């Protein structure tokens, strides 16, 4: 009697399963380490300032800087907005989390 072959062997199914699992894990790790585009963060901050009135200028550094506050460590982008208040130019600087875009600090210079 001849042995009947199965279309998929157990080894092949295990290989496919391991491949899918490892691909999913690598994708999740990549997403955690992926930073946002600094221009997108700057545009979000500009839109918030534009709700209160026109702005004269804006900037953001494209290099990420390490930031630590108490037990929290992350990477940040530093940027700024200039606008007129009472006929004077006023500058604001902000710190934004590079991974989430959350504004960590915003202060007037």
Q: Is residue 10 part of a domain?
A: no
- Taking only the tens place, the pLDDT of each residue in 26-72 is 766 666 668 899 999 999 999 999 999 999 999 999 999 999 999 98
Q: Which domain holds residue 46?
A: 35-108
Q: Is residue 73 part of a domain?
A: yes
Instruction: Report pLDDT for 2.
Output: 58
CA distance between the termini of the chain: 88
- Residue among 104, 43, 44, 46 at smallest CA distance from 75: 104
Task: Give the global pTM.
Answer: 0.70
In the predicted model, is pLDDT for residue 101 greater than 90?
Answer: yes
Distance (Å, whole) CA 18 – CA 32: 21
Q: Is residue 77 part of a domain?
A: yes
Query: Number of folded domains in the chain?
Result: 1
Phi-psi region at 87: left, alpha or beta (left = phi > 0; alpha = psi -120 to 50): left
Q: CATH code at 62?
A: 3.10.450
């Amino acid at each position: 009697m001849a042995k009947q072959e199965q279309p998929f062997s157990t080894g092949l199914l295990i290989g496919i399963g391991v491949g899918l699992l490892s691909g999913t894990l690598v994708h999740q790790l990549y997403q955690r380490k992926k930073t946002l585009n600094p221009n997108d963060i700057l545009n979000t901050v500009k839109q918030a300032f534009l709700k209160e009135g026109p702005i004269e200028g804006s900037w953001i550094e494209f290099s990420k800087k390490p930031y630590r506050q108490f037990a929290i460590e992350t990477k940040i982008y530093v940027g700024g907005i200039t606008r007129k208040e009472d006929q004077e130019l006023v500058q604001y600087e902000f710190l934004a989390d590079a991974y989430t875009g959350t504004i960590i600090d915003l202060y007037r210079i």
